[in-house]
Amino acid sequence: GAVVSQHPSRVICKSGTSVKIECRSLDFQATTMFWYRQFPKQSLMLMATSNEGSKATYEQGVEKDKFLINHASLTLSTLTVTSAHPEDSSFYICSASEVGGTSYNEQFFGPGTRLTVL
C-alpha cells in the first residue's frame, strides 16, 4: 500500500530557532500534499495544501512566513517552522495524494511529528 513517512518523529528545540519537518511518499508519486496540525484532544486542522512545483495554499489564519512549505518533488514536501515559539508546540501531520492512482486520489497520512518548543 501507499506509505508516507515523516522525519523527525519528535523534535525539541529552543525558542527562536527554526525546525524543518520532512514528508515523503515512499512508493508513489504525490501531486498534492497536505499539512495538518493537531492539538491535544482536538481534531486535525488543515494548515496548507501544496502542489508539486507551485506555491502552497494556506488556510485562513495560518501565517505563510511562519510555516514555510516547499514541495520540490513528487515525493517530498517540507514544512519549516521559523522562529519557533512555545505556542507552536503541536503534532504536525502530513498527507499525500497519489498521481493517477486507483485510490481515487485518496489521502495517505504520515505518522506525524511531535514538536516541542522550549
Binding site for other proteins (CB under 8 A): 4, 32, 34, 41-46, 49, 93, 95, 97, 104-112
In terms of C-beta density within 10 A (0-12 exposed, 13-18 middle, 19 or more buried), how is residue 90 classed? buried
Nearest approach in angstroms of CB 81 to other proteins is: 20
Nearest approach in angstroms of CB 17 to other proteins is: 26
Please state, in angstroms and rounded to a whole number, the distance separating the CA atoms of residues 23 and 33: 9
Nearest approach in angstroms of CB 106 to other proteins is: 5
14/41 with CB nearer other proteins: 41
Dihedral sign computed on CA atoms, order 45, 113, 31, 70? positive
9/15 with CB nearer other proteins: 9
C-alpha cell at 53: 512545483
